[in-house]
Amino acid sequence: QNYRNYYLKVIDFLADQDGIDEINLSIKFSALVYGFDQVKNYKREGASASELKAAEAKVREIKDALTQILQKMDRVSGKKTFLRIDLEEFAYRDVTDEIFKEIVQENPELVKDRTSADSRDLKVGLVVQAYLRDSLAKLEELWVWAQEHGVRVPIRLVKGAYWKYERELAAEQGYPSPVFAFRNSTNANFVKCSEFLIRHIDSFKTAFGTHNI
């Protein structure tokens, strides 16, 4: 709650500043709820009734906080506003994507970028991590979803910041590593994902985060 309130205050502060035309914020869902780990069971097959109930409660908290932040941004006049949902560990990738989709579907007017010439543009976007082996497949799924719902999704393509952690956790728990083993593979996948996003500019508005020239 403190973190959510801090974001609301930041938006108010920036909205009052002359000379600022855009307010761009980034947030991680783990900042919006205590016991974030429980969301991994959201809609998960095999989860117990109590696990599903706890996960649903946490997701409701996240969505309520996110809606409040978007409502605050929507009341800002004379400035472009944008909220980026950042990604964390691989374990939370799918549920983060799911919450994003639900927020968009449940708040079609609230998530629109009214400053854009394209009425399909959203003012809330996602991050995609190219070091994940299935990131291109996830982009393909998101492309289908964007077409079905008539939206253009802002994507920030990055490489990913949890490479060592993901590999060590996979080895410790005995499942295949979700990330590429070699940097060159990540670089190649970054290019493949970039090409896909550029080819489908009708559905994606992309920012590229990389240290590579």
Digit-coded pLDDT (tens) for 62-120:
999 999 999 999 999 999 999 999 999 999 999 999 999 999 999 999 999 999 999 99
Q: What is the pLDDT of residue 202?
A: 95
User: Helix axis angle, 49-74 relative to 2-15, nearest 10°?
Assistant: 20
Digit-coded pLDDT (tens) for 155-184:
999 999 999 999 999 999 999 999 999 999
The whole-chain average pLDDT of the chain stands at 95
C-alpha 89: how far from chain center: 12
The CA distance from 100 to 136, in Å, is: 18
The CA distance from 180 to 178, in Å, is: 7
Torsion, CA 102, CA 107, CA 110, CA 115, rounded to 10 = 70
Q: Residue 116 corresponds to which tokens in the numbers above?
A: 């854009």
Q: What is the pLDDT of residue 182?
A: 95
- What pTM did the predictor assign? 0.94
